[in-house]
Structure formats: C-alpha cells, structure tokens
Amino acid sequence: LLVASLLECVLAFSFWVLDGNAAEGILNNSPIEVSADIAINSKYIWRGFKLDDDPVMQQGIYVSGYGFTASIWGSFDMRNRDSLNSDEVDYAIDYTHEFGKLSLSLGHTYYDFPGTNGFSREFYIGTGFDIPLSPALTWYHDYGKESSGGGKGDYLVVELSHSFPLGESPITLDLSGHIGYNHKLFINGDGEDAALGMALTIPLTEKITFSPNINYSVPFGDLKSSSDGNQNDKFYGGVTLAYGF
C-alpha cells in the first residue's frame, strides 16, 4: 500500500507540474522551489551493491527553501525475475550553506524497505567546491540496527562531475565519477567502490529535461569478496525525466 500510494502521488504530481500553471501561481515570487523526477533504470546499483538486477522505476519530489531541502524518493522493481526485493522509500532532510565557492551540507535519511518490513537511518555531513570538476567529499553514518535491516556502518565518498555544452545547442554532456570507502556498511569488513557515469541533458521545454545515461560500477576489497559483499562489476543505464520550477 505504501509503494502504491507513493507511486500514485508522484504520477499525479508529475501530471500536475506538466501543466505548470497552478504551481507557478502558488510559487510565484516565493523562495520555495519544487522539483520532481521519474527515471527507469536497467538495474539498481547503490554504492557498489547490486540491489536489483531487474529494471526499476525511481521517482522523487523535492521541496527547497532557506537552505533546506526535504525530499521523498522511491525505487520500485518493475519485474520480478530475480530473488531480490529492492523496493525502497527514502525520506530525507538536508541543510546546505554556501560560503563563496565552498558549501557545507548536513542531512539525515530514513530508509524504508516495505518489501522486507525493514528500515535504516543515516546522517551525513559533506562539503563541496564550486570549482572545475565540482569536487565533493561526504561522510555517511548508518546507525540502523542490523536486526531491523540497518547497515550499522560508515561510507566516505569523493565525487567529481563536469558538464560540457554540445556546440551551440542547449544539450549538455554530463560526466561524473566517484570513489567510496565502505567500513562495515552492509559488509563485515572494509571495501571500496568506484563508478563512472555519462549522461546527456536534453531540454524539452523551459522547465522539463530528458536525460539518457550509462554507468559502470566496480567494487573492491571486502565488497567484492565472495565471502563478504560478493559484488561484481556492472554496466547499467537508464533515462530520467525531470521537472523544475
């Protein structure tokens, strides 16, 4: 029921924002910003873990203002060809403050896993730099109990990204990558993962963009070990439709 309700809300919101007139009337001259996205991906890969080998639908709603962003994001299995149950709904709150070209972020995420009746909780602190390659460093601490589905561990990640305009067109080529260090987060020991991503951002209207993407994920250490994380290299891709006021 939770999955169905969230999906209905996201789809209803998506149809509402595609018209845009009512939303723009409410938010005109307001510091509050609202955005939404919906994506279909060939797999669900998270921090080097394969959470689902089936195609997934992922969607979110984001409300921002005064440095805060509140969001609801969900991922749902579109098929059931494997034994993995990856259905997930995340509730997150973030506060980000900018100091010139430096930004600091603090946030918390509650992970709900309706298919397994499990949940986890995680807070994070991060910093980013408004310079070429947009480097960012974030530390996540999961304090959810393992008996309830929590990870009970830490994840430190360095991320880089850059966008290139394609000639005179409004389309951009977006490149991204990260390398992360995992300390007992859903594994017993220590492991690492790295990923590279490439996407196109194609404006469909002033407020709607379409983005096809392809990604490659590589696990290392205990994350790759057959006696612990047992993860493998994976190619995956998808498309995203995003709307922003």
pLDDT, tens digit, 9 for 90 and up, residues 15-43: 444 455 555 555 566 789 999 999 999 99
For residue 203, pLDDT beyond 60: yes
Tell me what the mean pLDDT of segment 145-156 comes to: 96
Show the 3-state SS of 121-152.
EEEEEEEEECCCCCCEEEEEEECCCHHHCCCC
Tokens of 230: 């047992």
- 12 or 230: which leads in pLDDT: 230
Q: Taking 80 as the threshold, does the pLDDT of residue 13 lie above it?
A: no
**The pLDDT of residue 235:** 97
Q: What is the pTM of this model?
A: 0.88
**Is the pLDDT reported for residue 1 higher than 50?**
no
Which of 27 and 67 is assigned the larger pLDDT?
67
pLDDT at residue 189 greater than cutoff 80: yes
Q: How far is CA 17 from the centre of its chain?
A: 21
Q: Is the pLDDT of residue 110 over 70?
A: yes
Tens digits of per-residue pLDDT, 47-61? 999 999 999 999 999
Predicted pLDDT of residue 79: 83
pLDDT at 7: 47
Q: What 8-state DSSP symbol labels residue 2?
A: H
Summarised one tens digit per residue, pLDDT across range 80-105 is 887 778 899 999 999 999 999 999 99
Average pLDDT over residues 158-181: 97
Q: Across the chain, what does the average pLDDT equal? A: 91
Rounded average pLDDT over 212-228 = 97
Distance CA 137, CA 126 (A): 6
Sequence-distant (≥ 6) Cβ neighbours of residue 48 within 8 angstroms: 180, 182, 191, 192, 193, 195, 217, 218, 219, 223, 229, 231
